[in-house]
Amino acid sequence: MTSLVVPGLDTLRQWLDDLGMSFFECDNCQALHLPHMQNFDGVFDAKIDLIDNTILFSAMAEVRPSAVLPLAADLSAINASFADRESIS
């Protein structure tokens, strides 16, 4: 039986290299930034970070000021739709 891997930044770097995904490290944080994710409309930063032995993927997107209220109103429906997808797989 294989043991559980607790990844560090070196492990994440190796996984991304094995997958052929480009990444870079900035001077401001300890995260691995994913420049290819910036090709999606509105996404201006995406990164993989380790926080308390948890892998955290985050993508920051720009939202027009006029879209903030409708987006806030739809957030629970958006989150619920991802929960449905997760239970299927």
**Planar angle of CA 61, 78, 40, nearest 5 degrees:** 30
Contact 23, 33 (CB under 8 A): yes
Cβ 56 vs Cβ 49: under 8 Å: yes
pLDDT digits (tens, 9 = 90+) for 24-65: 998 888 899 999 988 888 888 999 999 888 899 998 988 889
The mean pLDDT of 8-35, rounded to a whole number, is: 91
Question: What's the confidence (pLDDT) of residue 84?
Answer: 58
Residue 47, judged by CB atoms within 10 A of its CB (0-12, 13-18, 19+), counts as buried
pLDDT at position 19 is 94
Does residue 8 have a pLDDT over 90?
no
The percentage of the chain sitting over the pLDDT mark of 90, rounded to a whole number, equals: 35
pTM score, whole prediction = 0.66
